[in-house]
């Protein structure tokens, strides 16, 4: 049973790593960004409300994102573990996650913080060519990360739930490093 939060700036490789680890451990990869992109593509009410925020590189309002999580964590496939990618992204979301996990009588094992230098992040995001990846939006997403999301590093470090991993290695080496800290945690 693994419950892991993958944390880090946009472009750090959270999605790629989450995908690989979810395969290995046969647990769901829960990406709020992917859920939101699907909602936008299928023009649901959530998608309609989220789109402008996503297109400009801002965070989608907390009440919309926070509401997605209990629904997802309560599904059958998430009872054997999960990897959260892209949530929580600010202090309010971190508190909401605490409250939810407590209510579900669960806890996450670790929060893995993928560290990657800014210049590499920008290059990676511009390379993947997603709709919200033009240069202005990319820079805004990084600013939003620094201002609203990065403060969570101290929040989780104080609670000794944070592990830093160098995300600027070959993808397979990053996956191996994450598996290694999770294995140590289990001992």
Active site residues: 14, 89, 128, 130, 141
Site for ligand AMP in 12-51 (CB under 6 A): 32-33, 36
In this chain, which residue has its C-beta nearest to ligand AMP? 33
Query: Of 20, 40, 46, 59, which lies in the binding site for ligand AMP, with binding defined by CB under 6 A?
Result: 59
In whole angstroms, the minimum distance from the beta carbon of 184 to ligand AMP comes to: 27
Residue 17 vs 32, nearer CB to ligand AMP = 32
In whole angstroms, the minimum distance from the beta carbon of 144 to ligand AMP comes to: 7
Is residue 86 near ligand AMP by the rule CB under 6 A?
Answer: yes
What is the rounded distance in angstroms from the CA atom of residue 56 to the CA atom of residue 58?
6
Q: Which residues contact 83 (CB under 8 A, 6 or more apart)?
A: 2, 4, 5, 6, 18, 21, 22, 25, 27, 28, 29, 30
Query: Of 108, 141, 142, 163, which lies in the binding site for ligand AMP, with binding defined by CB under 6 A?
Result: 141
CA distances from 150 to 26, 94, 120, 131 (A): 29, 12, 17, 24
Name residue 82's beta-bridge partners.
3
Query: Of 39, 60, 73, 78, which lies in the binding site for ligand AMP, with binding defined by CB under 6 A?
Result: 60
DSSP letter at 170?
-
In whole angstroms, the minimum distance from the beta carbon of 55 to ligand AMP comes to: 8
Name residue 29's beta-bridge partners.
83
Residue 124 vs 174, nearer CB to ligand AMP = 124
Helix/strand/coil percent split, the chain, to 5: 60, 15, 25
Residues that bind ligand AMP (CB under 6 A): 10, 32-33, 36, 53-54, 57-60, 65, 86-87, 89, 93, 132, 141
């Amino acid at each position: 049973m693994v419950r892991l939060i993958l944390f880090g700036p946009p472009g750090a490789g959270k999605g790629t790593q989450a995908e690989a680890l979810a395969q290995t451990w046969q647990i769901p990869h829960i990406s709020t960004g992917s859920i939101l992109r699907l909602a936008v593509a299928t023009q649901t009410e959530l998608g309609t409300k989220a789109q402008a925020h996503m297109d400009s590189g801002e965070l989608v309002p907390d009440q919309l994102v926070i509401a997605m999580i209990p629904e997802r964590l309560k599904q059958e496939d998430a009872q054997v573990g999960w990897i959260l990618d892209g949530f929580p992204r600010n202090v309010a979301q971190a508190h909401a996650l605490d409250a939810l996990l407590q209510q579900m009588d669960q806890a996450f094992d670790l929060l893995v913080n993928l560290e990657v230098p800014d210049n590499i992040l920008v290059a990676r995001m511009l390379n993947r060519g997603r709709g919200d990846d033009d240069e202005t939006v990319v820079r805004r997403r990084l600013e939003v990360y620094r201002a609203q999301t990065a403060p969570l590093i101290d929040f989780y470090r104080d609670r000794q739930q944070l592990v830093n991993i160098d995300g600027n290695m070959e993808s397979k080496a990053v996956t191996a490093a994450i598996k290694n800290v999770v294995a140590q945690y289990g001992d």
